[in-house]
Amino acid sequence: MFEKLKKILSNKEILRKIIFTFAILLVFKIGTYIPIPLVSTTSIRGTIAGNDFLTVLNAFSGGGLSNFSILALGISPYITSSIIVQMLQMIIPKLKEWSEQGEVGKAKISRVTRYVTVVLAMVQALVLIFGLGSQPENILVDSLIQYKNYYWAFYIYMAIVITAGSAFTMWLADLITRHGIGNGSSMIISAGIISSIPGMFSTLGNKYLGANISGLNVFLYILVIVLYIGMILAVVFFEGAVRKIPVQYANRQASQGSDIPVKLNSANVIPVIFASTLMSIPLTIVGIMGLTTSGSTAAFWVNEVFSNSKPIGCVVYIVLIVFFSFFYSFMTVDPDKISDNLDKQGAFIPGYRPGEDTKIQLSRMLFRITLIGATYLVFIALVPIIVSASFGFTASEASLITIGGTSLIIVVGVAIETFRQIETASETKDYKGFLD
């Protein structure tokens, strides 16, 4: 371990990329503290703490939303846009054609993704601003109250600022991807989540080790920490777990075969993000309309069905995670395409005929693998909810404990991939030196 670390630090090129990445992340973090002019952020924090969707969005933006900064949306519009464009490749023939054109097609898809990002950022910003503006709390500073007839212009101004901030964040992510270490979007999200860890320990400390400290509270504090450490170990194991499908080539000996590695969780964290987003939209709309569960039957049932802390909502949440796990896994790992590629290369899976039999077998294997991966995602997604309910966390306390569930999968996954990339880069450098 120490030898690998020494090798990495002695590599000037890798060290330069690491320093560059941290510099860009520092710029992003500073941006999350620059508030939009003429806006009061005091009441916004309370509104965010009581909304699951806004809490997740705030974690992804590195706290930029709670500060109502110029980077309030962070990289989330770009992530959403990437997922949408990727899914549209299955529907729109032109996008599918571009996806098969190599680097040229990839550049075209990237351009479309950026355009969609700007549009999504503008829409999200307007929805967010109008939603916050409809809250009973006074979000605008007192000096603007006299301009009631011109609120719409002020809202558009804020939306443009937030959209520009999202475009700037997208540019920063692109700089990291091209000149730094790791995937830029993932690094920015992870940096935002990691920055919230001190808040988590502070919240737990105030709850259990504050004025009412006792032996039981100390035990509960340690128990929560142990649970999260256990989750980290579980995520590390499952994110690195791979099912290797053996492959044999017709023109090679049996000992010279290879395999097709399929990740146990090939869909990564996307099913959880999709499920959380879909369930939070109705809740957000109800909140914007000012409806309460006690005063409106519709609001009551929306809360029961779409709140993952309720029994019905929890079941819906689980179903959505499982559905998106299978959908995204089969979209990412296409059995038909793998079978066709094996056939072209003169390869086959031992015990199965090339063609239709291979496709059926690959589909069966992927189904079983995805079922295990979906079960793992459901478990990880539900643990923070169960812990919050079991230990009596309030909404604000639960929102601050972000290093769990979705956030944990993202951070651990990014850490593993980044370390692999650094390790590969250092080994490649050694090979180049040897060949030279």
Counted domains in the chain: 2
Residue 98 within a domain:
yes
Q: Quick one: what percent of the chain has pLDDT higher than 70?
A: 75
Residue 238 within a domain:
yes
- 254 with 233, same domain: the answer is yes
- 130 with 256, same domain: the answer is no
User: Domain with 46 in it: what CATH number?
Assistant: 1.10.3370.10
- 52 with 109, same domain: the answer is yes
- 104 with 223, same domain: the answer is no
Query: Between β-strands 258-263 and 347-348, what pairing exists: parallel, antiparallel or unpaired?
Result: unpaired
Q: What are phi and psi of 261, to 5 degrees?
A: -80, 130
Residue 42 within a domain:
yes
Residue 24 within a domain:
yes
Q: Which residues pair with 384 in a beta bridge?
A: none
Residue 323 within a domain:
no
Residue 294 within a domain:
no
Residue 83 within a domain:
yes
Q: How far apart are CA 182 and CA 174, in angstroms?
A: 11
Q: What are phi and psi of 212, to 5 degrees?
A: -95, 40
Cα 328 off chain centre by: 14
Can you give the pLDDT at residue 253?
59
Decide which of 148, 175, 195 is a domain's last residue: 195
- 101 with 218, same domain: the answer is no
| Arithmetic mean of pLDDT over the chain | 76
Instruction: Give me the helices (H) in 134-260, please.
Output: 151-179, 184-194, 197-208, 215-240
Residues 6+ apart with CB under 8 A from 332: 266, 267
pLDDT band at 168 (very low <50, low <70, confident <90, very high): very high
Cα 57 off chain centre by: 10
CA distances from 242 to 262, 265, 368, 381, 397 (A): 5, 8, 13, 21, 36
Decide which of 195, 221, 243 is a domain's last residue: 195
- 155 with 258, same domain: the answer is no
Can you give the pLDDT at residue 362?
84
Q: What is the DSSP annotation of 89-123? A: TTT-HHHHHHHTSHHHHHHHHHHHHHHHHHHHHHH
- 348 with 410, same domain: the answer is yes
- 233 with 174, same domain: the answer is no
- 435 with 387, same domain: the answer is yes
Least confident of 67-76, 190-199, 291-300: 291-300
Q: Which of 55-59, 106-110, 149-153, 204-208 has the highest mean pLDDT?
A: 106-110
- 80 with 228, same domain: the answer is no
- 251 with 349, same domain: the answer is yes
- 204 with 254, same domain: the answer is yes
Residue 190 within a domain:
yes
Decide which of 133, 163, 195 is a domain's last residue: 195
Residue numbers of the domain that contains 33: 12-195
